[in-house]
């Protein structure tokens, strides 16, 4: 593959991810279609499938981009999509054990900050541990007297 083609492919991927961050934050992960993301980036859905095998693969790439921003600190987390997407990933992490573990790692590695985004990440780290807590032990049985 030539350098120009590689550069164009990388630019297309970056534009699709940027559009995905904004559209998924605005409409939600469940409701957003890849057609909407492609249209927001100025492409057809085919452009997404040339870059990513599926919506799941696209979401994984989106999460990796999100994770890099979360780890970068408060300055990078000022993007309008950051807090809404944080809440989206947290909600999905409650139902998806793999995302829960990956998200917990990101939360643990995110630098603390006394900003709204920093406090949100810190709070979520306490609510969304990498593994669900073990079930509570049964209450002691009372023996008849």
Q: Could you tell me the residue ranges of all domains in the chain?
A: 3-127
Query: Is 142 a residue whose pLDDT tops 80?
Result: no
User: Can you tell me the distance from the alpha carbon of 35 to that of 63, in angstroms, rounded to the nearest whole number?
Assistant: 19
User: Can you tell me the distance from the alpha carbon of 117 to that of 125, in angstroms, rounded to the nearest whole number?
Assistant: 12
Per-residue confidence band for 145, with pLDDT thresholds at 50, 70 and 90: low
Task: Among 2.60.120.10, 1.20.120.790, 1.10.357.10, 1.10.3720.10, name the CATH number for the domain at 3-127.
Answer: 1.10.357.10
pLDDT in tens, 95-123: 888 888 999 999 999 988 889 999 999 99
Structure tokens at 113: 């900050």
DSSP 3-state of 135: coil
pLDDT in tens, 45-100: 999 999 999 988 999 999 999 999 999 988 889 999 999 999 999 998 888 888 88
Query: Is 141 a residue whose pLDDT tops 80?
Result: no
Predicted TM-score (pTM) of the model is: 0.80
């Amino acid at each position: 593959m030539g350098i120009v083609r590689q550069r164009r492919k990388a630019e297309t991927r970056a534009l699709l991810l940027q559009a995905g961050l904004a559209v998924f934050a605005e409409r939600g992960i469940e409701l957003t279609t890849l057609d909407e993301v492609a249209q927001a980036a100025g492409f057809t859905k085919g452009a997404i499938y040339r870059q990513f095998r599926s919506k799941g693969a696209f979401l994984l790439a989106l999460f990796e981009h999100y994770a890099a921003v979360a780890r970068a600190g408060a300055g990078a987390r000022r993007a309008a999509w950051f807090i809404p997407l944080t809440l989206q990933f947290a909600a999905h992490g409650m139902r998806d054990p793999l995302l829960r573990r990956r998200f917990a790692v990101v939360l643990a590695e995110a630098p603390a900050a006394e900003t709204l985004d920093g406090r949100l990440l810190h709070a979520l780290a306490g609510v969304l541990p990498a593994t669900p807590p073990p079930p509570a032990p049964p209450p002691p049985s009372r023996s008849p007297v």
